[in-house]
Structure 1
Amino acid sequence: MELLAPAGSRQALTAAVQSGADAVYLGGPQFGARYSAENFTIEEMKTWVDYCHLYGVDVHVTVNTLVKEKEIESLKEYLKQLNEIGVDALIVQDMGAVEIIKKTVPDMTLHASTQMTVTSLEGVKYLEDMGFSRVVLARELSEKEIEHICKNAKAEIEVFVHGAICMCYSGQCLMSSILGGRSGNRGRCAQPCRLPYDLLENGKTVKSGYVLSPKDMALVNDLGTLKRIGVTSLKIEGRLKRAEYVSAVVGVYRKYLDKGGNVSKKDMQELLDAFSRTGFTDGYFKGNLGKNMMSHDTPSNSAENKFTEEAKKRAAEDSNIRKINTGIMGTLNIDAPLELTMYDNDGHYAYAQGTLKSEKALHKPMDEKRLRDQLLKLGSTPFECDDINITIDEGITIPIKEINSVRRECCESLIKQRQMREKGRELDFEIEHINRKKTDIILTCEVSDEEQFKAAVKNNIKRIYVPNDLVGTLKDVPDDVEIISKSADIFCEENIKTDGVLVSSPAAIYKYKDKEIYGDFRLNVFNSQTAQHYGHLKTVTLSPELNLHEIADLCENTNANLEVIGYGHIPLMMMKNCPIKAMGKCQKGKMIYKLKDRKREEFPIVCSKGCIAKILNSKPIFMADKIADLKKLKINSIRLIFTVEKFAQCDKIIDMYKRALNGEKNVQSMTENTYTRGHFYRGVL
């Protein structure tokens, strides 16, 4: 299995390579999901790509943020630069970025980021059809789930084995974005999950602490199992961590990948000393969810940041511990220059010939041992000789300086060969400008219960998104109302009872391809190329992180049918490890729990299919009094999402939006401080 290490800085990269990583992942100056990491300029990246390739270490570059319309040209240029310097793979989240990569640098290897929220074989199959050679699975999967995917997928499967866990499914978190304008999907997460909260039960505080702060993951004792079930790559989290941490963790994992067996107490302590939040968890992998996965008492590092001398040495800037096994063949004949060949285990050969011819020795001749010893002086190079064959005539000599020169030339030649990579094709690609027409905007509703459904029907809403479990219980549905089954937010196989289905993932698109498919906002449609990718769907819902100007720009370059969310408590987090259960409680289908933050805002917690917990924003988006701004956009529909609202409130809200769409000028706003405009007027960086 490949051991894949984080390289958030130059020193961390050195530490990863010298500690035995098979590959590293790093970010460049843009489009990477760790904006606050040190990261690398293109010029620096070229140097470090060569350094990694020298040691046979692959370089995976993160291009795993959502891309704005105005950034597409910059992305195209950046992709060509990465192609030029010979990176080995791109880690990608945005489907629009995938389309641009395929049209700009089509030979580039594609890895699907964990930000794509791939939790099923169906998700992997969709991405295989897209040209991905590797998929990084969501951290939330169990051993059994990973094994099923590995046994049935063509793509390589990569899993996280060590480091921080997001409380929310990666790629589905809007908490930092909505609350503070710093988007996790854009690499700027403010980590509100690491803040304290009160757990409210029917309005009363029943628990307090770091309710959303998980422990770090450690699967070092499960390496044998991961190999058996077919995992290709083991990923260590930590591009924001120090070089000594990278050295310590990579060093321990390298040791047990090579030797096998259970981890010693000493080595486990080294991992704990490097970084931990009150210990480690393997809860997702083992299927043991709950309190033991959480660090309720502290969100921070509880370790002493102690590192072994070996870890420190590997993390040093001038570290030269990792050696490349080579063979040497040397020939020195009478009246001829020294000829030297070096070769490695990867099939590279380097040849060098001296400029001075040997002479008959007047005093002490050069013998085989002396020539051998001189050629084996590789200390400052990355090479270590494990096979040497010398042929030398008797009674001759040559200057030591000449031997050193030939050896040095041969080493430099072998270094260049090991660093060499064939550059892929580069194509010119221009965004097609589409003369998109304005159409009448319709209202749609997403409901959570029958009461909300009745309010939508009463107000003559013609398209209603209904939870799949609720569809079969509805009565007296008018013939002209289009019922669209809302599939699970996190994919699981369901019996869809209607012709149309609202999907939240590529997995669901793959599964329900025989249905009329409507794309939900969880597809993270951020630019025209992503919209075009999903353009075959009946409707594509745009990301709620876009502002009005960005939506307008996007509309000009796609003919997809577009929907925006104009009302609702936006879901901020989707969690497999329910924070209520982890605190010793259970909602049992009722909506009685909320989280209260330091600003006294209260966030409802909703339980959904598969015991997935969902945190809603404390305030709903409200745009009825600003509908004129939405009407200026070339969108097709506005969705109203109802979650905690009762019939009367739904009835009132729908009526306000209908009147506003019909041109009524005096539609009132909601009470001050009870709503938000979302990102329509601010957006994210």
Structure 2
Amino acid sequence: MQNIELLAPAGSYEALVAAIQNGANAIYLGGNEFSARAFATNFNREELQKAVDYSHLRNVKIYVTVNTLYEDNQFKQLHDYLLFLANINVDALIIQDIGLMDYVKKYFPQFEIHMSTQTSVHNLEGVKYFEEKGVDRVVLARENTVAEIKNICQNTDLDIEVFVHGALCMSYSGQCLMSSMIAKRSGNKGACGQPCRLAYKLQKNGQDLNEQPLYLLSPKDLCTIENIDQLIEAGITSFKIEGRMKRPEYVAIVVKQYREAIDAYCHSKKLNNIPERILKMKKMFNRGFTGGYLLNDQSFMAKDFPGNRGIEVAKVISYDGKKRIVKLKLLNELKQGDRINFASIELTRTITKLFEKGRLVNSSQKGKVVEIELNQPVKTNEKVFKIIDNNLIEEAKASYNNENIKNPIDMIFIGSLNSTPLLTIKYQDLIITIKSNQKIESASNVPLDTQRIFKQLTKLGNTVFNANKIDIDFPDNAFFPIKEINEMRRQGIEQLIQKITLKNKINIKYPEVSLHHVPKRIKGIDVRVYNLKQLEALINEDIHRYYFPLSKDLDKAIDLATGFNKKIVPFTGFLSNSKQLNEFKESDLYCKVDEILVGDYGALQIFNDKKCLLDFNFNLYNSYSLNYFNNYAAVLSLEMSKNMINNLNDINQELILVAYGKTINMHLKHCIISDYYFNCKKEKCNLCHQGHYNLVDRKNEKFTILTDDNCNNLVFNSHCLYLENISDVDVDYILLSFSDENCEECKKVFYDFQNNIILGKPRQIKLKTRPTNGYFYD
């Protein structure tokens, strides 16, 4: 059985202590600088050093998140931060930005590199890509199944890390622009506003399907503890708990449940006390639990309520408006200090007074009728949820208030008459030797025996060590001061701690190189189309490249283009699966294409024998990432500004700018449409072909939903990107990305941009959806 790492979140120092004292093997956390959880408490530099020392003394590793995208002008500050992390002995960096990955490998090779889930690796080929690049670990997408993960683990030497508990993102991590495009709060910059937790209506052909908005993008929380055996047998290296925004008590309880469950299975191949463990975790926080894609759980969404529902504790019997008293029938114990929630009126309150038969009580049990004061009326039979259990909070705090960890050390105390004794302490590969200044003398009264020496050496107090083995070689009828033995032990432990927490003195200078901006001019227009009608409308125009999806109509698209002496560049899209990609590679069509626009690292690995272009999904956001891919034409990140583009340095490849199109805000393995009708994703139901579907938010913004051949959803932005005055942007080609436009609309947009570039005319057409400049003028 392999060693299983339990990896816990820490958004604060207290959460770190809670995780470690309850059994975490490793901690992931972020500094105040460059972290993907901008709204967590996070750690300043002093706290980071303290956290590393605390963790390493307890044989726990620290992984620091630097898993956002960075601008060129941030790399000098990044370098200084990385140098600090190297000197305090951080064990690994969690990275999204491919430019930063390359930078770390060049200048900070001492770090382990873990590719973040933000890198969007979701197949074996993507893992193989990074294995060849020499990283140490890949954090897989939350959308992978146990079967897929098992296959990956069996075919790579890399460590594989998988989320096993906590909040789920609706879109593939690193591929969600929903918050970014509607509120300029980018998940790729650690500032996601979580629009997936808001309510939406679903429209079909302009008509609302649900009268009241539902939380159609809000998943339940992942909980895999009852299937931990499957995950262990799959070969996963690291079991990751989500929750850097959670309170320390939550971290304590959840870590403890998974630690004990993992240990029980590894020891006896059995799972124990699973219902009790799940109940405890529900009491701490849950949106409803699901096994997620990981365990093919069809009960995936929390459409009724997006927040913590704890456990159902009561139902409303009646409400007395005059007395402002609500009467409840208890389904579970309720106590003073507990916090309850009435979801329908979005009211949360702490129980300060609890009445049973008119008498004030501290607690009341299941089946009892109680009364509490409440200023707002509630309906009869309303469900009441307990979202904070005060007793459990106290239990959690008690679990980390004292030192629970004791690392075994071996000790050897040796000396002879009229000589100075030696104390040797051994811990892992460290050896500490303390030599006394005092000599062992003949005893004039009561001699010192080995039992007393043994007793003094075991007095390790509130340290993180305990004596595993003690060997003593001490002469008979001899004397040596107890005080000196204690001092030798104290010095030895102190030196051992110093060695474990020893800081480096690395001085790696920031590479001050001569930067050269390569000016470019727009040479032409590329277009992305999704169907044959759009292609037919544009096939006879002056277009540099036609991108067409890897779909059943690709052969017809190639034949059509060939007739006009044009070339088709298939695009894989981020959601294309490995089976589909490999089938294309083995098909006759593969020989008919020279270039492929790839949407993820797996596709790049599969099609490494072709000329590949990199789509916007690669999040190429700075000169460092583009230089890493200097042999590949690249579609720039949709979150780049004109100023950023015009200040890129040493760029040799073709750059492509998306100048038109409804941005894909979300890439979903889920199907919103079938889930609305069937409460699960139902493949091949064909409902998506029976109308035009939109999500509609509280501001009446409409987000188009398109479904691919694998029943995955693409959610498009409500506003259409339409860049004007682009003649002075330093790119080679602009890309017009069509989605659901008809033939006439495609033509009008193309002519508008053609005139804009060649003649400098302003936009002429009126769009169906409001235009946006995105980040272009930021």
Q: TM-score range by the shorter chain?
A: over 0.9
Structure 1 residues 333, 664: CA separation in 2 closer, same or farther (over 3 Å shift)? closer
Q: Does 2:756 correspond to 1:648?
A: no
Partner of 1:670: 766
Distance 1:530 1:19 in 2: 39
Q: Structure 1 residues 256-265 or 656-665, which shifts more?
A: 256-265
Question: Structure 1 residue 9: deviation in Å?
Answer: 1.0
Aligned to 2:43: 40
Q: Are 1:266 and 2:276 an aligned pair?
A: yes
SS at match of 1:149: helix
Q: How much has 1:656 moved relative to structure 2? A: 0.7
| Alignment partner, residue 283 of structure 1 | 292
Give the counterpart of 2:408 among 314, 325, 340.
325
Name 1:488's counterpart in structure 2: 573
Deviation at 1:361, TM superposition (A): 4.5
SS of match in other structure, 1:357: coil
What is residue 214 of structure 1 aligned with on the other side? 219
Of 449, 454, 458, the match for 1:376:
458
Counting only pairs closer than 5 Å after superposition, residues 218-229 of structure 1 correspond to structure 2 as 218-229=223-234
Residue 75 and residue 476 in structure 1: after superposition, are their counterparts in 2 closer, same or farther (change >3 A)? Answer: same
In structure 2, which of residues 639, 657, 661 is the aligned counterpart of residue 545 of structure 1? 639
Highest relative contact order (Cα 8 Å, sep 6+), 1 or 2? 1
Aligned to 1:174: 177
CA 1:598–1:60: 2 relative to 1, 3 Å: same
- Superposition map of 1:141-290 within 5 A: 141-207=144-210, 208-260=213-265, 261-264=270-273, 265-278=275-288, 280-289=289-298
The equivalent of 1:92 in structure 2 is 95
* Distance in 2 separating the partners of 1:666 and 1:196: 38
Q: How does 1:402-441 map to 2 (within 5 A)?
A: 402-420=484-502, 426=508, 429-430=511-512, 433-441=515-523
- Contact 1:201 1:592 (8 Å CA) reproduced: yes
Shift of 1:243: 1.1
Contact 1:111 1:132 in 2 (8 A): yes
Alignment: residue pair count: 670
CA deviation map 1:284-336 (0-9, x unaligned): 122233xx1111122111223333655322333xx311111122222354444
Following TM superposition, where does structure 1 have runs of at least 4 consecutive aligned residues deviating by more than 6 angstroms?
421-425
2:594 to 484, 499, 502: 499
SS in 2 for 1:103: helix
Paired residue type of 2:425: M
CA distance in 1, matches of 2:539, 2:42: 53
Residues 213-243 of structure 1: CA deviation (Å, up to 9, x unaligned): 1111112223322222211111111111111
Alpha carbons of structure 1 residues 491 and 365: separation in structure 2 relative to 1, 3 Å: farther
Instruction: Confirm or deny that 1:465 pairs with 2:561.
Output: no
State the match for 2:727 in structure 1: 631
Partner of 2:84: 81
Q: 1:15 to 1:541 in 2, by over 3 A?
A: same
Matched position secondary structure for 2:647: helix
| Deviations 1:560-593 (CA, angstroms, capped at 9, x unpaired) | 2101111111000011122222222563335522
Give per-residue Cα distances to partners, 1:387-431, cap 9 Å, x unaligned. Answer: 222333344444433222111111112222333477778465345
**Distance between the aligned counterparts of 2:693 and 2:741, measured in 1?**
15
Name 1:568's counterpart in structure 2. Answer: 661
Match of 1:385, SS state, is: strand
Matched, 1:521 2:528: no
Matches within 5 A, 1:551-562: 551-554=645-648, 556-562=649-655
How far apart, in 2, do the equivalents of 1:429 and 1:103 lie? 11
2:529 alignment partner, one of 431, 439, 447? 447
Q: 1-side partners of 2:490 and 2:181: how far apart?
A: 58
1:641: how far off?
0.9
Q: Match of 1:296?
A: 303
Secondary structure at the counterpart of residue 233 of structure 2 = helix
Q: Could you list the per-position Cα deviations for residues 508-550 of structure 1 after superposition, in whole angstroms to 9, with x for gaps in the alignment?
A: 111111222111100101001111222212x200011111111
In structure 1, what is the Cα distance between the partners aligned to 2:461 and 2:388? 31
Alpha carbons 1:320, 1:382 under 8 Å: kept: yes
Secondary structure of 1:638's match? strand
CA distance in 2, matches of 1:532, 1:491: 26
1:247 to partner: Cα distance = 1.2
Tell me the equivalent position of 1:65.
Answer: 68
Question: 2:258 and 2:762 mapped to 1: Cα distance?
Answer: 65
User: 1:671, 1:155 → 2: CA distance?
Assistant: 48
Q: Percent sequence identity over matched residues?
A: 36
1:511 to 606, 612, 616: 606
CA distance in 2, matches of 1:329, 1:122: 52
Larger Rg: 2
Following the alignment from structure 2 to structure 1, what is the Cα–Cα distance between the partners of residues 32 and 90?
Answer: 15
Give the match for residue 314 of structure 1: 399
SS in 2 for 1:639: strand
1:108/1:424 contact within 8 Å kept: no
Distance 2:694 2:280 in 1: 38
Q: Deviations over 1:185-214 (max 9, x none)?
A: 011111110111111122222233111111
Relative to structure 1, is the Cα distance of residues 468 and 425 closer, same or farther in structure 2, using a 3 angstrom cutoff?
farther
Q: Distance in 2 between matches of 1:349 and 1:582?
A: 61
Q: 1:592 is matched with which residue?
A: 692
**Which deviates more, 138-147 or 474-483?**
474-483
Name the Cα RMSD after superposition.
2.1
Counterpart CA distance in 2 for 1:288 and 1:50 is 40
Structure 2 counterpart of 1:601: 701
Shift of 1:38: 1.6
Q: Do the aligned partners of 1:488 and 1:609 also contact (CA within 8 Å) in 2?
A: no
Q: CA deviation at 1:500?
A: 1.6
Deviation of 1:337 (Å): 4.2
Q: Contact (CA 8 Å) 2:517, 2:647: kept in 1 or not?
A: no
Over 3 Å counting, the alpha-carbon distance change for 1:423 and 1:204 in structure 2 is farther
**CA deviations over 1:593-613 (Å, ceiling 9, x no partner):** 211111111111110132211
Which deviates more, 604-613 or 301-310? Answer: 301-310
On the 8 A contact 1:200/1:595 being kept in 2, the answer is yes
Q: For 1:119-134, what aligned pairs fall within 5 Å after superposition? A: 119-134=122-137
Task: Name stretches of at least 5 consecutive residues in structure 2 with no aligned partner.
Answer: 311-386, 679-684
**Structure 1 residue ranges without an equivalent (≥5):** none
Q: Could you state the TM-score of these two structures normalised by the residue count of structure 1?
A: 0.93
Q: 1:398 to 1:74 in 2, by over 3 A?
A: same
Return the alpha-carbon distance in structure 1 between the equivalents of residues 698 and 201 of structure 2.
Answer: 9
One-letter amino acid of the structure 2 residue matched with residue 467 of structure 1: P
Alpha-carbon contact 2:138-2:161 (below 8 Å) kept: yes
Q: Which amino acid aligns with 1:441?
A: K
